Structure 1
Amino acid sequence: MTCFDHTRRSSEVFLCVLLSFAFQAAHGQVEVSPVGPTQVDVEAGRNVTLDVSIRGATDGPLTWFMGDLPVVTWTIASADPPTVAEGKEKALVLEQNGSLTLVEVTVTFTSNYTVTVIQSGVGTSSVTFTLRVFESIENVSLRVTPDLPVEGSERFALRYAVLRGVVERQTWFFNGAEIKGTPRYSVENQSLVIRGTNRSDAGRYAVILTNPFGDARADRNIAVLYGPDQAMVEAHPDQAFYVAGDSVILSCRADGFPKPTVEWTFGGRSLSVSAGGILNLTNVQAGQGGTYTCTLLNEETRRRSRRNATLNVYEKPPGSPVCSVQAANDVSLRYDCRWLGGAPQARLTFPALSNTSGGGGAFNLTVDASDNLDGKTITCAADHQLGRSECDVAARSPANFLPAVRTEVDDGGKIAVTIQCVSAASPKAVVSWFRGSEEVANGTDQQISGDATQLRILSFEVGRFVEQNYTCSSRNPLGSRTRAVQLTGPAISDSSLFPNQDGSIITLTWEVPSTSIVTGFDIQLKGPDLLSDNRNVPRARRGSSGFRTIQQKPGSSRSTDVFGLDPDLTYRFRVIPKARSDAGEPSELHRIGPGDGLSGSAVAGIAAGIPCGLLFLLLLGALVYLSVSYCRKRRRQPRYPAARAAEKAVTSKADMVPHNLLAGGLRSPPDYNRLQKTPSERSVTLPSFVPPPPVRVATTV
């Protein structure tokens, strides 16, 4: 194009503008109007023109504002170039018609742009554009505050961040569903705020950011810490109680995030558990019964939940219940029942005495003594969860009794008489002692035992005992019994004699009155001496004419054995009771043997047997004659006598001393040499006969 053409075109434009202003002036107003929309969205990096149409202005000033800041100034129809704000010369270009072009815009150009035209004498006109510059949204991320929301907290928020880009709109989603505005959810600036945090808020959150030129998305899983909830405890097997020796499994669980840890304690002591918080109890015993505490802990929130479990372990008390009755005082009875041990303790009652009173383990009930309780059986009912048992007891008044008297001599030589009074009674009778009408008190010569059932009296003289009358009284709340004891001197109440089969041994037995004072016995014999154990010692056919003591027995003896009797001889025995040196009346006289003379019947028998005897003698003489003749024929050779057969006996060891064996004479063995009649035969020395050693004969009577 030539310079002329350019000049002509500029002139034409100027004329048009001038005419336009003239036209507007003619009409009397200035008007600036947008050509297109006043809100302009543009992608960053592009050019955008804010087009305007100006009417009624011919030479007035034109100014573009970016917000409130003037960025371009120009005089309409002026040949001078517009004035552009410093630093924006390349980004802002004013067109000839007053429109404004923005070159390669950035987000910093986002603003309101206003063009103002002033025509002198006419007025002012302006129009405003809204320019939004958008970049592509890139690298969107989500952040939660706080990092780990906790159930029950007031709020938590998700905030997005972008590396670059302008967000026109944000849309939030929870588990794929769009979040609408509610009192719990609100979108504030670049955040989603959730109020009243609870476990249901845990899940996947997403945000979609959009602008006219694109969108971007970001997702995040959010965990909400909660719990532990109320612990749940279970027992397997689930039973009201367990028997000692059973096995039990205790489990404890509760919802929570993260999963809570489990701790079991018993009696303040921590117990070891298996995986999952399982407590295994095998072979449980009564001591393991009680309260077990399960504690659940959230390691993140440090919150705890506790739950108790009561384990009832029952064990039956050992053995059986034991009943007794005691005297509470002189007029009351206390019934006791005990069944100790076990878990829990057995409940004890006396149904016959009370329908309401009872106790555990050990129970007693005191009632007034009455006749209807004497001998009545009272049952204690013992009830336990594992079984029922019972025991019986009966209260009885003192029964009739016989005092027992025992006599002995102490180390000081005193006669000690012990009187014992024991009366069967329940409760046990209390014994009191009286001498005459005065109660006996403990002293030197009169001593009462600890349980008061024995009275011991010491004295050197028998007469002192005989002169006194002692009384013992036994009593309990149901009644009393009294017995008098009149001590007597030494006496024998009954006696007996029992021989063995061959009459060589006798057994003497005797009894004494229950109140007789006896310290010993003399066993006396009248008759021949007893056989001695030494058979070489000759025995006299007759002893002394009177009684002589052959044995002495202590006061506790009631029998004795006498050995060495000759069955062909007659013996008489008696027992003399003694209290030290004082002797009592002898016992009944006992005789053993053929007797001292012939009775009438014996004489009649002899008279009748004389003829028979004469005939027997004739026969015996013939037999002797034949025997002598036979012996003379055989006497040419020396003969040795055969030893007499010993009596069958039970022998003891040679060094054992026979019990109660009295010395006695033994018959001399016969001289067999005197039987030889020829001198030649007597020249031969015959062996002497050696009797067998003495033997002890034992006979069972």
Structure 2
Amino acid sequence: MFSERPVLLKMTWPSDFGRLSPGFLTILLSFTFQGAYCGLVVSPVGPTLVNVITGSNVTLAVSFSGAPDPTVTWFIKDFSLPVVTWAINSNTLPDIDENRRKVLRIEPNGSLTFVNVPLEYTSNYTVEMTKSGLGRSSTTFSLEVFSSPVQFLPAVGTRVDSEGKIVVAIQCVSEAWPKAVVSWSKGSEALTNGTPYQISSDTTQLEILGYNVSKFLLQNYFCNCSNPLGSQTREIVLTGPSISNSSLLSSHNGTIVTLTWEVPPTSVVTGFDIQMKGPDLLGKNHTQTSLDQFYTIQHEPGTNRSADIFILDPNLTYMFRIIPKALMTEGDPSAVHRIGPGEGLSRSAITGIAAGIPCGILFLLLLGGFIYCVYWNKNKSRQTRYPLSRAVEKAVTSQTETTPHNLLTGGLKSPPDYNRLQQTPSERSVALPTFGSPLPVRVATTV
């Protein structure tokens, strides 16, 4: 029987190494070189902090070693969200996040390229390479996208402080990275903190204090937003209290109306007076002197842009308007809004009718004259004696010639001239007709 004890082969170096078969040496060398792949390493090419201007193209470049054709995955915000995955030298298309396909591209060596990079792509990006059985490696980049200040519209707000002063706040904010610094000026004079100007700690807001609104309107203010990449300047011209547009909406039963209005963006307004013309509202008595005059029925703060009015009689007619105010200074009233069954004609319609009455009268006079001329000409044409035709004139002449010069007594006709009738054709002065009866001849007689 064979013994189950293991047989130990004892080899001595270097004499026994020379007796190894060529096949064994091949396997040994293969394992030796594969051991080099166990150290898969991905490294950044260049700095890991990358700054770029918005709209540019930029590449986060990497290189790798230790394994052929690894799988590459790019993450945004430190492994929190994969945005690109691809196996190098693979025939399949890279898997790119659907929301980022217009911006992100992956290079053949695994580097990540941004095309027309937007400002919001500022973040940390991590690349990870893996190879089955050979481990993984990663490195991280910080991408900062910068932009110069862009066009912006300053915002103007107005309030009244505890001392009764008007406070006009102008705010200038421009999208930019690095964040833009704002400076303020009045004309060519640079403004700093101090009465009557207050600048916020982040420099984006200027407050102007005063009791008289006209003081604000006489000045031109400028805000300048700048960072290392550029700057933008805007001029702010303040205007007095005003309303740019207004409208009225009635409830279905006509007892409640809602007034809405708009204010120009640079208008200085601290409040609004809602005025009405017409009968008293139900349940409220006012001391207006006349139904034909507007009177204030309620006040609204400068931040409001609408007001509800209660309670109207749907059978009566009311008119409303809004008066913008800056403390005691009033601006032009809004358009007049009318509601009720007896709305009648508007002022423009009445003006049009008044202007049209003289034109209508003139038109009627012209029309009457034209008709009279046509009628007169028609009657005149009927009374006109036109020249007699030659045939009629001949008949009249013949009649005159046959009338006897000496009238017969007793009203008897003279006997015919038989001698004349018996003349030969050659003796007659006029040939007799060959057919037809002769025309009748009228003879004038006197009784």
Give the TM-score normalised by structure 1.
0.31
Structure with greater proportional helix content: 2
Larger Rg: 1
Structure with greater proportional strand content: 1
Higher relative contact order by CA 8 Å / sep ≥ 6: 1 or 2? Answer: 2
